[in-house]
Amino acid sequence: MQLTVDKDLERSTLTVTATFEHPVAKVWDLYADPRK
């Protein structure tokens, strides 16, 4: 997993983006059911 953090101080925003090496369906299943 790779995390990217973008800060915009003028707009007071913080954007965090996560990039995974696995298919979206597998990542979503883990997010939906953390017991896996």
Consecutive 10-residue averages of pLDDT for the chain (36 residues) = 97 97 93 86
pLDDT at 6: 98
5, 22, 31, 3: CA torsion to nearest 10: -10
Q: pTM for this one? A: 0.59
Quick one: pLDDT at residue 34?
81
For the chain, domain boundaries: 2-32
CB 22 within 8 A of CB 5: no
